[in-house]
């Protein structure tokens, strides 16, 4: 396999990528970032490719970002939303996808509430599958755009950098994909949040654990703050949102009290005033909108590299 190819046919999770894959994706994304900042933002790289965006769960950023990435690469696209589809009439995932594929689709971008749904499909169909978030499992393109944005903000690779992931680690696919990605890149990774929202055996993934937000902010170069995922919490993990904010929320005043400037990130959507105050989210230290911009370039890189592999 030439070094300019990914080691995998699908993007199911960061767990299945090599360090070399990560660097290839970042180098390719850098080139596409330059392209999307030109007056003419479109290239013909995916002109003969049809991509189906299958969203079985809500999304704003990921869906628009993939659609834009596909359009910038000149792919043909079809969009599917479970809420307005025959899934509501009882059709299975495999039947839905096979019907779409019989219309000659080459690549599938899929978000699904069930962990493992993209892996299941990849064993049943021939198209390249890109996981756009599967339940509480992985959100690989979010982790890739996060790591790319961290490198850009720090103007450095991430080996030896201190990255803390704050918040609801238990229910977060972004947390797991970030942990796989950042540890592969040699960063020191910590998770910080209430004990009830941190999985018991997470240390086995090579991260350390803290329950102290202030100490963790003092320690880190980058704070990746995650959303409290109330829609996935069927029991109470903390007494109230106000108490969560008082103990684990991050504010501009806390950032101003640190000895160094921590880079602040959030994958969105933000619960303003819960995990992050509005003034922290909008501060000069925040790169939240840069993350969104970089998401298009990173997704162009993934689509391009997986499509290139089809020709091998």
Binding site for ligand CP (CB under 6 A): 59-62, 133, 139, 142, 267-269
Smallest distance from ligand CP to CB 111, Å: 7
Would you list the DSSP string of 269-294? ---BTTTB-HHHHTSTTB-HHHHHHH
Q: Which is nearer to ligand CP, 109 or 198 (CB)?
A: 109
Is omega for the bond preceding 302 within 30 degrees of 0, making it cis?
no
Smallest distance from ligand CP to CB 265, Å: 11
69: three-class secondary structure by DSSP: helix
With CB atoms as reference, the residue minimizing the distance to ligand CP is 62
Smallest distance from ligand CP to CB 129, Å: 17
Q: Which is nearer to ligand CP, 18 or 60 (CB)?
A: 60
Smallest distance from ligand CP to CB 233, Å: 17
Q: Which is nearer to ligand CP, 122 or 172 (CB)?
A: 172
The rounded distance, in Å, linking the Cα atoms of 158 and 288 is 18
Q: Which is nearer to ligand CP, 11 or 101 (CB)?
A: 11
**Residue 43 CB-half CA count within 13 A:** 17
Positive/negative CA dihedral, 9, 14, 18, 20: positive
Smallest distance from ligand CP to CB 276, Å: 14
Q: Which is nearer to ligand CP, 51 or 101 (CB)?
A: 51
Residue 250 per-residue DSSP state: B
294: Cβ–Cβ under 8 A, 6 or more apart, which residues? 29, 33, 145, 148, 149, 152
């Amino acid at each position: 396999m030439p070094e300019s190819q990914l080691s995998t046919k699908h993007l199911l999770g960061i767990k299945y990528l090599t360090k070399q894959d990560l660097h290839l994706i970042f180098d390719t994304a850098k080139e596409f970032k330059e392209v999307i900042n030109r007056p003419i933002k479109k290239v013909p790289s995916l002109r003969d490719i049809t991509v189906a965006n299958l969203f079985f769960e809500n999304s704003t950023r990921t869906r628009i970002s993939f659609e834009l990435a596909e359009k910038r690469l000149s792919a043909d696209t079809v969009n599917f939303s479970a809420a307005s589809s025959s899934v509501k009439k009882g059709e299975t995932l495999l039947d839905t996808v096979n019907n779409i594929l019989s219309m000659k689709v080459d690549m599938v971008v899929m978000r699904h509430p069930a962990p493992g749904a993209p892996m299941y499909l990849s064993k049943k169909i021939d198209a390249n599958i890109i996981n756009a978030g599967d339940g509480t499992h992985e959100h690989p393109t979010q982790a890739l755009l996060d790591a790319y944005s961290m490198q850009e903000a720090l103007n450095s690779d991430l080996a030896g950098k201190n990255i803390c992931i704050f918040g609801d680690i238990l229910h977060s696919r972004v947390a797991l994909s970030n942990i796989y990605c950042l540890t592969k890149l040699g960063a020191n990774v910590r998770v910080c949040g209430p004990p009830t929202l941190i999985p018991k055996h997470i240390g086995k993934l090579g991260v350390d654990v803290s329950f102290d937000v202030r100490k963790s902010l003092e320690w880190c170069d980058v704070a990746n703050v995650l959303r409290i995922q109330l829609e996935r919490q069927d029991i109470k993990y903390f007494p109230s949102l106000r108490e969560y904010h008082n103990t684990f929320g991050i504010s501009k005043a806390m950032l101003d009290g640190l000895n160094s400037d921590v880079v602040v990130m959030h994958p969105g959507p933000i619960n303003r005033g819960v995990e992050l105050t509005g003034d922290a989210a909008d501060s000069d230290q925040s790169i939240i909108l840069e993350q969104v911009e970089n998401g298009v370039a990173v997704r162009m890189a993934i689509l391009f590299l997986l499509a290139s592999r089809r020709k091998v």
